[in-house]
A and B are shown apart, each in its own frame.
Chain A
């Protein structure tokens, strides 16, 4: 039988210092705990290995170009010049547009599920949101390419004609049906569908933790339901919701399949988002890795490193905001 050994050394005679109590587990306990620590450290090891290998393999590209790798706009296939300067802004633009669509919708859905939905419907809605998160991204990509793209072109044409005072919505080519196909805007619409369930489920958890006493106090003071939500739930959940939104943006940044299947691949920055042509780092890697020479592969790994750094920054920032907020302190992470 394994017994823990606890011993307390007697305190010195006139000393006011507390006793030192040492509790050492039996040998099997020590072995067990160290084995668990090893398993916990494995996550460190895996992440460190990913970083090390990516850095190692991408050294060539960074050594060749230095920091201009980040700003150069051309990705020449035959030569040795590579730069993500053309692809990185489009990655950010797609993620930004996807957030503009997904964050309001997701927050509205989260408020609906936690505040407005009848209790019987709540479990079903949570299951629906979880299912929406589990749908493979390639199914969304198929739907976006074959269902959404032909049908959304009419609206995009209208926007390009009537909202052209906003520079990104202008068209530089003559508008025709094919000038909108494969544009960053459509890719952003599909990516937003993938970000919505992530933001919704996390925000819903946070909103439902708002203290019951404060809610009842708002009602007691005569507020309507929306007044209660506005003054109690939203300020409570602000940190968690911000963190959730950033996690959604992180998902949108790393989305590969949907962007690749929809967008018409080019390698320079297209900031007329309604117009055909665009790219994202992840989609570029997916498209080029097969036919890449050794140098190209190194450049692709460098691009992957840049992407990983960006998503890591976003997620760490999100975790920081969540943990520092009032709602984050209530939930466990």
Chain B
């Protein structure tokens, strides 16, 4: 052993760990953990395969995997109690159980996307699915006729209108909660949280009662956009408020110290700083509003024809297209394929919106992207 201040001694064999020392393992997962899990999993697979349809009177793929999982848990418990003490066994068991929760979530998402793709492939691979409408398509038409262009156009138009209605109002309400506050803050926040609980069909019913029956706005894309904006509003407000609260208070105080009014502070300092987070909030709300079915059903009707104006006339959207294809004409398999194709398109748009939100909103408020930093450097070098 070397002591402080001793003369230098060469690193020699007396400093190597002796035979009895075991190096400290710093990683969280040891090979015996992994092997125990794998062993229990494969053992369970074999046992279930042997027992399942041959010995026990069970059937169905779902039951098979459910049985596999239960037997896996039992085998893992047995294997763990053979190796480790009871304290360690409990720890490992809960690790396995919560990990299955995480894996389950991933499997569900992948399954949704994959299943829509596989079942809709027959319809998607034809170009007419993307470029034509359902006009002049009869029940027995093949998949080379007919498409969902009218539904896509309707969805996009209604989403654009709904964003127009809900985003300015939502961000302004969020600015109110973050900047002004006061006595109104807690009631307004409670109400916004309560509005997130609104079932979407109640929003549709409300717009139907208010706009269509009372005000006389026709059943059209506009009414549906109003209903969707009611659904989007609390989401935009809550997400924006979270983003605005993260903006550092020192920025606001510096702006006030320089003599700016509250209005200029918000418009020139706070909102630009929070821009990426606000964009994320808006995009997430758009993803939510895009997939709404129930309120659109009640307020926009359905039409197999292209209707490019949202202000009068029934308009189809992707979700109502799926609804009608499955529930009204679901006995014809071509319609079901088209419905799955439309479902896949829905998922694609949602995933794209999500990716945009993640890419835009990744940084903290005020954090500059690489391109902005390069631009600043260029300008500084020039002056």
Residues of A within 8 A of B (CB): 1-3, 25-26, 28-29, 32-33, 35-37, 39-44, 46-47, 49-50, 53-54, 56-57, 105-109, 111-113, 115-118, 125, 127-132, 134-140, 142-143, 145-148, 151-155, 157-158, 193, 196-197, 200, 224-227, 229, 247, 250, 253-257, 261, 282, 285-286, 289, 300-301, 304, 307-308, 311-312, 314-316, 319, 332-333
Contacts and interface: CB of A to CB of B under 8 A. Distances in A.
Interface in B125-142: none
Given A40-B177, A301-B205, A136 B291 contact: yes
Interface of B: 28, 58-63, 66, 87-88, 90-91, 94-95, 97-102, 104-106, 108-109, 111-112, 115-116, 119, 169, 172-173, 175-177, 179-180, 184-185, 187-203, 205-206, 208-210, 213-214, 230, 233-234, 237, 242, 245, 259-264, 266, 284, 287-288, 290-294, 297-298, 319, 322-323, 326-327, 336, 339-340, 343, 346-347, 350-351, 354, 358
Contacts of A312: 194, 197
Given A50-B203, A53-B214, A127-B354, 14 more contacts: A28-B262, A39-B169, A39-B172, A49-B210, A134-B284, A134-B287, A137-B293, A138-B319, A138-B322, A139-B291, A142-B326, A143-B112, A224-B90, A253-B199
Decide if the interface of chain A is mainly helix, strand, loop or mixed. Answer: helix
Contacts of B115: 143, 147
Contacts of B112: 135, 139-140, 143
B95 A225 contact: yes
B343 A300 contact: no
Given A136-B292, A225-B95, A308 B199 contact: yes
- Smallest CB-CB A-B distances: 4 pairs: A136-B291, A154-B60, A254-B199, A108-B101
A328 to B, nearest CB: 12
B201 A286 contact: yes
A41 B354 contact: no
A254 B201 contact: yes
A145 B206 contact: no
A112 B346 CA distance: 29
B177 A131 contact: no
Contacts, number: 278
Contacts of A148: 62
A247 B234 CA distance: 15
Given A53-B210, A136-B292, A333 B189 contact: yes
A319 B199 contact: no
B22 to A, nearest CB: 20
**From DSSP, what is the main secondary structure of chain B's interface residues?**
helix
A304 B290 contact: no
Nearest to A140: B112
Contacts of B233: 43, 46
Given A42-B169, A43-B237, A50-B198, A105 B354 contact: no
A102 to B, nearest CB: 11
Contacts of A333: 189, 193
A135 B176 contact: no
A199 B326 CA distance: 30
A116 B339 CA distance: 39
Given A145-B326, A227-B91, A116 B98 contact: yes
A129 B105 contact: yes
Nearest to B187: A44
